Structure 1
Amino acid sequence: MKQLKVTGEELPDTLRQVVDYRKSGLSLNHVVGCPLDCGYCVRHFFGNFHMKKPHLVMPDDEAVEQLVGHWAFQPNLTPIQIFNRATDSFLPIVKEHLFRCIEDLDRRGLKNPVLIITRWHVLPEDVERLARLQNLRITVLITWSGIEDQKIEPVSCDIAEESLRVLAGEKGSLRSLLYWRPIVAGLNDSDAHIFRARNLSKLADATVFTGLFYRNEIRAYFQSVGAPDLYAGVARRKILPQDVEARIIAAFGDTPIFRKTSCGIAYAHGIPDYNGHYGIPEICDICPAAQLDICQKAHHVPDMADIHALARRAGVDAEGISRDDRRIEVSGIQEQQRYFMQHSLNFQVHDCKQPHHFGRHGKADIGWS
């Protein structure tokens, strides 16, 4: 299969830094550029939405070395994401680089969780190749929104639905998620959309639903293409109004659905949630009893000595740390430091300056009373 060549194209420093820590894992992004034009894409935040042709920032072997050599990487523990902020993993010109990276990691005997997010075609031969991996715990997350406005979602949702069908077959230890996002009030939250999502959930090993990152960059892009102004304001966190969440949960009934990505991955693989959400019980009030039992058995409140040791490793001031039975709160912590501590402890770590309000599950205030 044809592969990309390392490009000399000018890139901002944020894109030349191919490894960074995000909530769902340590993220590897050494391919930049995507032609799919999803209007809500996080590429708006990294200054590369205009790049439609994928470019290779560095060779795959060098990128993997940067990943496993990152200060926060821990063998068999750190969740890993591949190509989740600057391209789509299963674009034909990109997926050979995806396979080369995960096969390199697998040959090292690593058992880390690996998340691969796509809204493009996943083919039977792709599933066969992924299923041959011996060590990594792989989850393919199929992004599906049901949005029909082509200014916002120019890629047909039929593609994601067919990928779910392909992944629904025999696939060994590989698992698939219906990644229902972004859900937007008045756009794709009708009874028909919810019914369609519930039917699609039967094709996946778990279903995760979430809202929209509606920040200034996204709002400005929507205005530039004549798309509707979806909410009255912008927000740092994802917007998913309270009534929309309640209708979705009620409609799914006994069909499992999860608020958090790591919760869905945990359920799909029959393991505890690596983000430690069990300490925030109102997040878990929709989880199946069997999964709650798995997470409860793995849950413990960490010792302050362990917290301080991790804080020192992450370069966090230990003086600004407090802890209760629900979460650790840290003053002046950066996101990469926070997620490193959270995954190391399997316990929620929050930034004092960005408090999580009770019952809102880390969502934006918009639409919540």
Structure 2
Amino acid sequence: MTKAEFLNLKSVRPAPDDLPRSLRNFIDYRKSGLSLNHIVGCPLDCGYCVRHLFENFSMKRPHLIVDDEIAVQELIGHWAFRAHTTPIQIFNRATDPFLPGVKTHLFKTLEALDRRGLSNPVLVITRWRIDRSDVERLEALKNLQLTILVTWSGIHDERVEPVPSAIAAGSLEVLAKSASRVKKILYWRPIISGLNDTIDHFASARRLSELADATVFTGLFYRKEIQAYFREAGVPDLYTDLARRKILPRDTESRILAHFEGRPIFRKTSCGVAFAHGTPDFNGHFGISEICSICPEGQREICSKHHHKPDTEAVRSLARSVSLADLNGIEISDRRIVV
């Protein structure tokens, strides 16, 4: 099957029996909420994709692990799920949610959550095509606090990213024209020094930011598996060092912020989402001033009003729920909780 045929598939296959356990476990507890990934497989071939870490990059056709209704039931039954509170990300680890065969399941999953009256923040990340009919279906949701994050990089090297950035730009234009309840983020990533950090790239990103409710920028997730893939593809090492976190050199960030002066731009995804919806940051970054220094004053005021140091016993109660043993070793400061 050709890549074009993969990209136009209108259906997904059942997952194979030998699917790795890391992918068969379709609910992932992450630092920013619960991630639901009951479809795996993607033909987009973005070289920096996290699927390299799950040994799943070669699976080009999307496969369904469980039915959408079962996935939703297991999600809301997860030990970490709290109705109206827990942030949810859908299809953000192993496929693109707006591929033709996948978006049918995206809509069914969103509608199943919405029918339950849940108002949780829901994040959907895509670099693929969104059309007007897609937005109409998303706008029909009544309860979920939905945000679409459109990934755009401006990278032209097909060895790194074969998907034209014009597709993401077109999706953002569609959202700008037809979305109101659903919020839209320009997800500017990955920014890689020497590859897509020129003045022209900055100017393009700023123009696109006019179509979005907020812009979030971030660097490259550069692990050994991703480095190895690029080397095999003939791409020179993008950085000399590997890192557990995303890499964004300080000088690159300074130039970005100077170019975006006067526009809402954020270092953290949840900060941009909070600004778009006019709510406090659900990840509570406000205590870390060096993250929040670029946020608009109005957003800092919202987060400040909702930022409270929790009671020790409340933290201990949560620690018990995840079976942490040393309840006396908990440290609570204005910035963070250490267990």
Fold similarity call, TM over 0.5? yes
Matched, 1:223 2:240: no
Tell me, yes or no, if structure 1 residue 206 matches structure 2 residue 214: yes
Alignment equivalent of 2:250, drawn from 242, 258, 261: 242
Query: What does residue range 282-297 of structure 1 map to in structure 2 within 5 Å?
Result: 282-297=290-305
Counterparts of 2:238 and 2:199 in 1: how far apart (Å)?
19
Indicate which of 316, 335, 338 corresponds to 1:326: 335
Determine helix, strand or coil for the equivalent of 1:282: helix
Spell out the pairing of 1:89-108 with structure 2 (5 A cutoff).
89-108=97-116
SS at match of 2:292: coil
Conservation of the 8 A alpha-carbon contact between 1:35 and 1:52 = yes
User: Would you say 1:154 and 2:162 are equivalent positions?
Assistant: yes
Q: How many residues are aligned here?
A: 330
Q: Identity across aligned pairs (percent)?
A: 61
What residue is the counterpart of 1:27 in the other structure? 35
**1:145-192 C-alpha deviation (Å, 9 max, x unpaired):** 111110001000000000000000232310000000001111111111
Instruction: Give the drift of 1:17.
Output: 0.4
Q: How well do the aligned residues superpose, as a CA RMSD in angstroms?
A: 1.1
Distance 2:32 2:128 in 1: 20
Alignment match, 2:261:
253
Counterpart check, 1:113 vs 2:133: no
**Conserved 8 A contact 1:24-1:261:** no
Secondary structure of 2:230's aligned partner = helix
The match for 1:338 is none
Structure 1 unaligned spans of 5+: 331-369
SS across alignment from 2:44 = coil
Q: Secondary structure at the match of 2:72?
A: helix
Q: Deviations over 1:22-73 (max 9, x none)?
A: 2332000010000000000011111110100100011111111111111000
How far has the Cα of 1:10 moved from its partner? 1.5
The residue aligned with 1:312 is: 320
Question: What TM-score, normalized by structure 2, do the two folds share?
Answer: 0.95
Report the Cα distance in structure 2 between the residues aligned to 1:209 and 1:116, rounded to whole angstroms.
16
Q: Does 1:17 align with 2:41?
A: no
Amino acid at match of 1:55: H
Distance between the aligned counterparts of 2:13 and 2:218, measured in 1?
A: 35
Map 1:37-186; keep pairs closer than 5 Å: 37-186=45-194
Secondary structure of the structure 2 residue equivalent to 1:100: helix
Please report how far the alpha carbon of residue 9 of structure 1 lies from its aligned counterpart in structure 2 after TM superposition: 4.1
Contact 1:6–1:59 (8 Å) recurs in 2: no
Question: Is there any run of 5+ residues in structure 2 with no aligned partner, and where?
Answer: 1-8
SS at match of 2:290: coil
Map Cα deviations across residues 89-143 of structure 1 (whole Å, 9 max, x no partner). Answer: 0000100000000100000000000000000001100000000000000000000
Q: Which residue of 1 aligns with 2:5?
A: none
Distance (whole Å) between structure 2 residues aligned to residue 140 and residue 285 of structure 1: 25
Moved >4 Å (runs of 4+) = none
